[in-house]
């Protein structure tokens, strides 16, 4: 069956928006690493892999996400879509691009106020970027998919599932020697609320734009 031009255009535009969201989120992750006060749960785990395997932060991110994607595929492959694949394989290259640029600014050597500000900026960017990515509704990220699976399979709340997931990721990262601190706490407590608000906002905007585009065709 032939795919209409409208569906192809919709897919291309969705991929573009997803990549913009992932780019913003990856820049936020790079701010975490540059501030050197600890990172979000996933970034802490990736920091541990980075130290253990002597690979870049971005490659560690790709490895961790690919492992989680395999687990999600085995548990509930229906959650996987083009957005899931893009999340797994393109965040790493974005992190590899931004991390050296920000570390070249030597933010970790600046006063504590600047480092905390960078941590807050990183948190905001991660939440906004992932919110934009999720608003496109082209599949769950591996982490989000596993949280939803846990909620459905075990009847627990998203909050509990997310707390357990974050604890496992942070614990794994720390055991592998990752840096942790106030940035870890800030990332865990604030990224979720920012993500939720931004996802709702971008979801409304995308729905409006899609409706306008459809009525104009």
SS (H, E, C) the chain: CCCCHHHHHHHHHHHHHHHHHHHHHHHHHHHHHHHCCCCCHHHHHHHHHHHHHCCCHHHHHHHHHHHHHHHHHHHHHHHCCHHHHHHHHHHHHHHHHHHHHHHCCCHHHCCHHHHHHHHHHHHHHHHHHHHHHHHCCCCCCHHHHHHHHHHHHHCCCHHHHHHHHHHHHHHHHHHCCCCCCHHHHHHHHHHHHHHHHHHHHHHHHHHHHHHHHHHHC
pTM of the entire predicted model: 0.87
What pLDDT digit, counting tens, does each position of 84-130 carry?
999 999 999 999 999 999 988 999 999 999 999 999 999 999 989 98
pLDDT for 145 beyond 80: yes
The pLDDT of residue 114: 94
The pLDDT of residue 213: 64
Alpha-carbon gap, residue 207 to 121, rounded angstroms: 27
Alpha-carbon gap, residue 87 to 110, rounded angstroms: 32
The pLDDT of residue 21: 94
The pLDDT of residue 71: 93
The pLDDT of residue 1: 53
pLDDT for 36 beyond 80: yes
pLDDT for 83 beyond 80: yes
137, two tokens: 């509704």
Alpha-carbon gap, residue 170 to 178, rounded angstroms: 9
Query: Which of 46-60, 78-92, 186-200 is the least confident region?
Result: 186-200
Alpha-carbon gap, residue 20 to 26, rounded angstroms: 10
The pLDDT of residue 40: 87
What pLDDT digit, counting tens, does each position of 149-176 carry?
888 888 887 678 878 888 899 999 999 9
Mean pLDDT of 27-33: 93
Query: In the block, which residue shows the tokens 């614990």?
Result: 171
What's the whole-number average pLDDT of the chain?
88
């Amino acid at each position: 069956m032939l795919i209409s031009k409208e569906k192809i255009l919709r897919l291309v535009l969705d991929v573009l928006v997803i990549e913009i969201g992932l780019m913003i989120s990856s820049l936020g992750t790079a701010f975490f690493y540059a501030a050197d006060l600890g990172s979000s749960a996933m970034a802490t785990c990736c920091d541990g892999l980075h130290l253990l395997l002597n690979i870049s932060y971005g490659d560690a991110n790709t490895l961790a996400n690919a492992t989680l994607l395999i687990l999600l595929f085995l548990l509930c492959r229906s959650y996987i879509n083009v957005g899931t694949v893009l999340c797994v394989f393109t965040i790493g290259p974005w992190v590899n691009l931004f991390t050296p640029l920000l570390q070249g600014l030597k933010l970790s050597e600046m006063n504590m106020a600047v480092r905390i500000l960078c941590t807050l900026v990183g948190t905001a960017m991660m939440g906004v970027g992932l919110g934009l990515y999720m608003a496109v509704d082209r599949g769950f990220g591996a982490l989000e998919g596993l949280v939803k699976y846990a909620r459905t399979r075990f009847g627990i709340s998203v909050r509990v599932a997310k707390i357990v997931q974050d604890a496992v990721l942070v614990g794994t990262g720390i055991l592998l020697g990752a840096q942790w601190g106030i940035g870890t706490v800030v990332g865990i407590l604030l990224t979720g609320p920012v993500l939720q608000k931004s996802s709702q906002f971008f979801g409304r905007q995308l729905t409006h734009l899609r409706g306008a585009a459809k009525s104009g065709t």
